[in-house]
């Protein structure tokens, strides 16, 4: 069965098949240049990757959407980044200390987002950036942790992620991380939900196709947290995971769950070499 026939079979009865194009375009040839820096949006896939070449989701977006990410002044996510800067300098909790009191300028965290999720020896598992932020808030500031999708958390992850913009994704794949990446890979290929679908069926088997107005990308995660028009605001990677599961009528795992962290780890390894774009803009 051809990829397009497979996709038609997969989406039959979902309301999506009516917009499925017969021959969807692949990624465009545009280059992503922000503040004079050219970001890597296309790279040869890592060894043993199911794809030959991997592309940032930016390459699948319309010219209008791409233009918003190119210009920091126009990027709607930069409002959250400004809020993140305010939070960075604001004392909080029983310690009455701010993030800046310990870390100095936020650019001291350059490279951190590119390594996420990162192994936490004390916890015995990898942590997403949100986990690390909440640990620092409770441990060092003596303050209450932020909710995963709160304005504060999204602003801080956008601010910290921005410090790594242009750096390649380089998540650790050896040692104890290997088991978590393998677990995430299994989740990626496991069919779930009423529609009996898996991540790979859209982002590996049918990337480049059109489903209604959506141009399917390879599902790379180098731009999160991302501003999505569908959300009218910023959202975390785990929110995107949850939304995908709801679309196929599956019960989503909780944000910050072991399942979503494992999936994040696998996708970070799957997108190795692509530049961090945080905060990206998508439809």
Whether the domain at 3-74+167-282 and the domain at 78-162 fall into the same CATH topology: yes
Token readout for 225 is 């947290």
Catalytic residue among 99, 199, 202, 244: 244
Helix (H) or strand (E) holding 5: helix 3-11
Question: Using CB atoms within 10 A of its CB, is residue 173 exposed (0-12), middle (13-18) or buried (19+)?
Answer: middle
Task: Say which CATH architecture domain 3-74+167-282 belongs to.
Answer: Orthogonal Bundle (1.10)
CA dist 128 to 58, 115, 246, Å?
23, 10, 22
Q: Are strands 226-228 and 233-235 parallel, antiparallel or unpaired?
A: antiparallel
Across the chain, what does the average pLDDT equal? 92
Per-residue model confidence as pLDDT tens for the chain (283 residues): 443 444 444 444 443 433 343 345 689 999 999 999 999 999 999 888 999 999 999 999 999 999 999 999 999 999 999 999 999 999 999 999 999 999 999 999 999 999 999 999 999 999 999 999 999 999 999 999 999 999 999 999 999 999 999 999 999 999 999 999 999 999 999 999 999 999 999 999 999 998 877 899 999 999 999 999 999 999 999 999 999 999 999 999 999 999 999 999 999 999 999 999 999 999 9
Q: Which one of 1.10.3080.10, 1.10.760.10, 2.40.50.140, 3.10.450.230 gives the CATH number of domain 78-162?
A: 1.10.760.10
CA dist 75 to 96, 99, 182, 243, Å?
33, 25, 35, 23
- Residue tagged 């060092």 (tokens): 140
**pLDDT, tens digit (0-9, with 9 covering 90-100), for 221-253:** 999 999 999 999 999 999 999 999 999 999 999
Token readout for 112 is 């951190």
| Residue 199 is among the residues annotated as catalytic for this protein | no
Q: Domain locations in the chain?
A: 3-74+167-282, 78-162
């Amino acid at each position: 069965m051809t990829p397009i026939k497979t996709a038609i079979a997969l989406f039959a009865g979902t309301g999506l098949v009516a917009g499925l194009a017969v021959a969807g375009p692949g990624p465009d040839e545009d280059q992503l240049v922000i503040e004079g820096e050219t970001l890597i949006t296309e790279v040869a896939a890592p060894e043993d990757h199911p794809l030959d070449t991997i592309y940032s989701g930016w390459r699948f977006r319309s010219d209008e959407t791409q233009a918003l990410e190119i210009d920091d002044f126009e990027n709607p996510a930069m409002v959250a980044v400004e809020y993140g800067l305010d939070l960075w300098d604001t004392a909080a909790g029983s310690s009455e200390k701010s993030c800046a009191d310990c870390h100095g300028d936020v650019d001291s965290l350059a490279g951190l987002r590119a390594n996420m999720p990162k192994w936490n020896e004390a916890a015995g598992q990898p942590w997403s950036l949100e986990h690390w932020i909440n640990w620092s808030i409770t441990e060092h500031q003596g303050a209450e942790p932020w909710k995963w999708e709160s304005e504060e958390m999204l602003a801080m992850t956008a601010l910290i992620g921005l410090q790594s913009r242009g750096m390649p994704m380089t998540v650790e794949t050896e040692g104890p991380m290997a088991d978590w990446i393998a677990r995430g890979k299994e989740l990626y290929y496991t069919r779930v939900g009423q529609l009996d679908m898996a991540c790979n069926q859209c982002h590996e088997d049918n990337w480049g196709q059109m489903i209604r107005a959506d141009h399917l990308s390879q599902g790379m995660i180098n731009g999160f947290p991302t501003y999505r028009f569908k959300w009218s605001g910023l959202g975390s990677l785990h929110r995107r995971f949850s939304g995908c599961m709801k679309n196929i009528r599956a019960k989503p795992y909780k944000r910050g769950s072991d399942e979503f962290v494992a999936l994040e780890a696998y996708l970070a390894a799957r997108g190795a070499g692509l530049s961090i774009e945080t905060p990206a803009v998508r439809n």
